[in-house]
Amino acid sequence: MSGSKAKPAWFEPELATLTRDRFSDPNWIYERKLDGERCLAFRDGGELRLMTRNQKVVTSTYPELAEALMAQQASDFVLDGEVVAFSEGQTRFAQLQQRMQVARPSAELLRTVPVQYYLFDVLWADGTDLRPQPLRERKQRLHQLLDFADPLRFTEHRVGDGVGFYQEACQQGWEGLIAKRADAPYVGGRTKDWLKFKCENNQEFVIGGYTDPQGSRTGLGALLLGVYDSDGQLVYAGKVGTGFDEQTLHRLHDELSALEQDRSPFDRGNPPRAGVHWTKPRLVAQIGFSEWTTAGQLRHPRFQGLRRDKSPADVIREVPQSG
């Protein structure tokens, strides 16, 4: 596409497909899978927007990222990357939650919970739509486009050695890898040109209710979780009662109590009935778990945080695909 075309106000991000396959191929590159918030960065001269994948503007949430991007010599671009916060050497979504909830963070919060922006693709630069170009060329262009210093990071990759890199990733406690076809263009939506190699299971779930706290517990007992099926029905997937601190329990109770309704939002499945408060299915939680049971329930689930960047309607059961 020529530079004479106007830059669109939004680019649909490309999404990776979960797979059971683990392979090494010289025609693929492999990147670390980061546990953060997906963001696109749009710069038009003196204007900058940071936007989540559901088009929420979060520029003021991450002022240090906006400042670093505005300081670049390049002034016309659209970048794709992941905003992350580290804890004990790992990207932790729970750590990032402290920043995601704050529209205008204080200097103290900026200091105590620093974030970094790991950039892995460039969709537009200097008046040109780069999405039709092969990924390897876009990565090279991205590397040349910016001055990568904290808090901006270039997402490094490895060519070909997917199996070995995956084993290293899991040994180091990473969430996994993203495998990307090196000669593929950038295509919005979920594709098989990008694949997820996960070291552990986690995905998003819709919250459809909560139970009363028991014993010394305050706020709430457990969250009732669901996913949408292909017919648009909300299917009960189990409950999660671990992974919360006191502050999170009270914040969730306040938000969910405002969404209470008389009837269950679940169309299928058998959620508990005693001591349950049903809610409108508006909030999305990220949940880590060991596996799905044969009955379609989560085994050993743990709460990792709310996803403000995901629409409930998009939450389906992630099924690893082969081939």
> Which residues, 6 or more positions from 36, have their beta carbon under 8 angstroms from its beta carbon?
82, 83, 84, 85, 91, 93, 96, 118
Core vs surface per residue 205-215: b (16+ CB within 10 A) or e: bbbbbbbebee
* 51/93 Cα distance (integer angstroms): 18
* 234/224 Cα distance (integer angstroms): 12
The pLDDT of 12-35, averaged and rounded, is 95
Look up residue 244 and give its two tokens: 């919360």
| CATH 2.120.10.30 applies to domain 201-314 | no
What's residue 32's pLDDT?
Answer: 96
Q: How confident is the model at residue 1 (pLDDT cuts 50, 70, 90)?
A: very low
β partners of residue 277: 210
What's residue 3's pLDDT?
Answer: 44
Q: In terms of CATH, what superfamily is 14-198? A: DNA ligase/mRNA capping enzyme (3.30.470.30)
Is 33 catalytic? The answer is yes
pLDDT for residue 322 is more than 80: no
Contact 136, 157 (CB under 8 A): no
Give residue-wise pLDDT tens across range 62-92.
Answer: 999 999 999 999 999 999 999 999 988 888 8
Q: How many CB atoms lie within 10 A of CB 70?
A: 13
Its sign, for the CA torsion 115, 116, 118, 123, is: positive
Look up residue 98 and give its two tokens: 């402290």
Contact 128, 2 (CB under 8 A): yes
What's residue 2's pLDDT?
Answer: 41
The pLDDT of 109-115, averaged and rounded, is 96
Domain spans in the chain, listed from the N-terminal domain onward: 14-198, 201-314
State which H helix or E strand residue 51 sits in: strand 47-52
* 152/68 Cα distance (integer angstroms): 7
Q: Where are the alpha helices (DSSP H) in the chain?
A: 63-70, 93-100, 107-112, 135-145, 162-171, 246-257
What's residue 76's pLDDT?
Answer: 96
What's residue 323's pLDDT?
Answer: 55
Cα 77 to the center of its chain, rounded Å: 22
Q: How confident is the model at residue 129 (pLDDT cuts 50, 70, 90)?
A: very high
Give residue-wise pLDDT tens across range 286-319.
Answer: 998 878 888 899 988 999 999 988 899 999 998 8
The one catalytic residue among 33, 180, 239, 310 = 33
